């Protein structure tokens, strides 16, 4: 059993995404809570969300993984950008309450020259303002490739953020296979070692979802260029081993591979076939 899906556009509403993923053969999905490059987000229609919830129950979907905007940066050196980022996060999390008990993933941020330690503090500061004790969403920090000044390029940095957040029972981690590989974690030759490291530093109980991507680059390249499953440097054999690893059982797997609809339909079918052998 696996929960597998891809990113979908929210343009036609929430129930439409559920229907589309059912047509794709998947049972989870991701969507951008607003335009990935920033901008306004549409209000939620309660009937639409109710219809989606019914569909998710009926089709036995796994948890959904909303994705925050790429422009949201809680640790920019520019205070206006930081303030903007916090406002986006607060509005997104408010909106997520309409679809309770799902995941909201975001890129921790880029410190833009301030240094990782300052970045970590500012991200935690933002989260401390945005999270509240009885919220119904689990917020996921995404593991990053470490390009530019990205924070979250190793498990230690994510752990430091988590430790500084008061309501950190609302925090988890989304492991992006392309990102950890590009960051230097060898999930091809030492998957067990990487998982053990994650467990030792962060704790596997924090691992809530995966972004399931191959990579155009070699391990440690620090680049972040996704590739179709089996066509990159991670390769199909390793992708299959990851998907079937007991540590990731029942987690939502989200494809962020460079594909059109047809490509996603095929990749979803490929991943599902591993579980029917
Ligand atoms: Fe991401
Ligand atoms: Fe990702
Ligand atoms: Zn990426």
Mean pLDDT of 30-39: 80
Instruction: Give the strand pairing for 150-151 and 109-110.
Output: antiparallel
Distance from the alpha carbon of residue 215 to the mean position of ligand 3, in angstroms: 9
- pLDDT of residue 250 exceeding 70: yes
Give the CATH number, domain containing residue 83. 3.20.20.150
Distance from the alpha carbon of residue 277 to the mean position of ligand 3, in angstroms: 30
What is the number of the ligand closest to the CA of 70?
1
Distance from the alpha carbon of residue 256 to the mean position of ligand 2, in angstroms: 7
- pLDDT of residue 275 exceeding 90: yes
What is the number of the ligand closest to the CA of 254?
2
- Burial class of 275 by CB neighbour count within 10 A (0 to 12, 13 to 18, 19+): exposed
Residue pair 12/261 in contact by the 8 Å Cβ criterion:
no
- pLDDT of residue 36 exceeding 80: no
Distance CA 10, CA 133 (A): 28
Model confidence pLDDT, tens digit, residues 7-27? 999 999 999 999 999 999 999
Mean pLDDT of 197-225: 98
- pLDDT of residue 41 exceeding 90: no
- pLDDT of residue 40 exceeding 80: no
Provide the mean pLDDT of the chain.
96
What is the per-residue pLDDT for 87?
97
What is the per-residue pLDDT for 229?
98
Distance from the alpha carbon of residue 133 to the mean position of ligand 3, in angstroms: 30
Neighbours of 229 (CB within 10 A): 23
- pLDDT of residue 277 exceeding 80: no
Distance from the alpha carbon of residue 134 to the mean position of ligand 3, in angstroms: 31
What are the counts of helices (DSSP H) followed by strands (DSSP E) for the chain?
Answer: 9, 12
Distance from the alpha carbon of residue 36 to the mean position of ligand 3, in angstroms: 13
Distance from the alpha carbon of residue 277 to the mean position of ligand 1, in angstroms: 31
Distance CA 12, CA 141 (A): 27
35 pLDDT tier (thresholds 50, 70, 90): confident
Distance from the alpha carbon of residue 75 to the mean position of ligand 2, in angstroms: 19
38 pLDDT tier (thresholds 50, 70, 90): low
- pLDDT of residue 33 exceeding 70: yes
Model confidence pLDDT, tens digit, residues 142-185? 999 999 999 999 999 999 999 999 999 999 999 999 999 999 99
What is the per-residue pLDDT for 199?
98
Residue pair 45/81 in contact by the 8 Å Cβ criterion:
no
Can you give the residue range of the structural domain that contains 129?
A: 3-273
Mean pLDDT of 72-91: 98
Distance from the alpha carbon of residue 179 to the mean position of ligand 3, in angstroms: 6
What is the per-residue pLDDT for 34?
84
Distance CA 141, CA 74 (A): 12
pTM over 0.75: yes
What is the per-residue pLDDT for 44?
85
Distance from the alpha carbon of residue 179 to the mean position of ligand 2, in angstroms: 7
What is the number of the ligand closest to the CA of 36?
1
Q: How far is CA 4 from the centre of its chain?
A: 13
Ion ligand 2 neighbours (CB, 5 A) are 176, 211, 256
Distance from the alpha carbon of residue 211 to the mean position of ligand 2, in angstroms: 5
> How many domains in the chain?
1
């Amino acid at each position: 059993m696996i929960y597998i899906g891809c990113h979908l556009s929210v343009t036609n509403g929430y129930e439409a995404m559920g229907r589309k993923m059912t047509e794709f053969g998947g049972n989870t999905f991701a969507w951008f809570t607003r335009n990935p490059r920033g901008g306004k987000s549409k209000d939620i229609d309660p009937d639409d969300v109710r219809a989606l919830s019914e569909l998710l129950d009926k089709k036995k979907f796994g948890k959904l993984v909303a994705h925050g905007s790429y422009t949201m940066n809680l640790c920019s050196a520019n205070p206006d950008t930081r303030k903007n980022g916090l406002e986006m996060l607060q509005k997104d999390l408010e909106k997520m309450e309409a679809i309770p008990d799902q995941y909201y993933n975001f890129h921790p941020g880029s410190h833009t020259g301030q240094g990782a330690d300052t970045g970590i503090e500012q991200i935690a500061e933002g989260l401390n303002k945005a999270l509240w004790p009885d919220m119904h969403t689990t917020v996921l920090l995404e593991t990053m490739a470490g390009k530019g000044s990205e924070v979250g390029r190793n498990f230690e940095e994510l752990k430091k953020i988590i430790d500084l957040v008061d309501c950190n029972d609302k925090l988890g981690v989304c492991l992006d296979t392309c990102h950890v590989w590009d960051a230097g974690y060898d999930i091809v030759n030492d998957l067990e070692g990487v998982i053990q490291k994650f467990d030792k530093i962060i704790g596997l109980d924090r691992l809530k979802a995966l972004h399931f991507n191959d990579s155009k680059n070699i391990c440690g390249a620090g680049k972040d260029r996704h590739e179709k499953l089996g066509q990159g440097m991670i390769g199909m054999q390793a992708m299959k081993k990851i998907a079937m690893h007991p540590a990731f059982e029942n987690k939502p797997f989200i494809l962020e591979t460079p594909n059109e609809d047809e490509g996603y339909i095929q990749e979803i079918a490929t991943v599902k076939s591993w579980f029917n052998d």
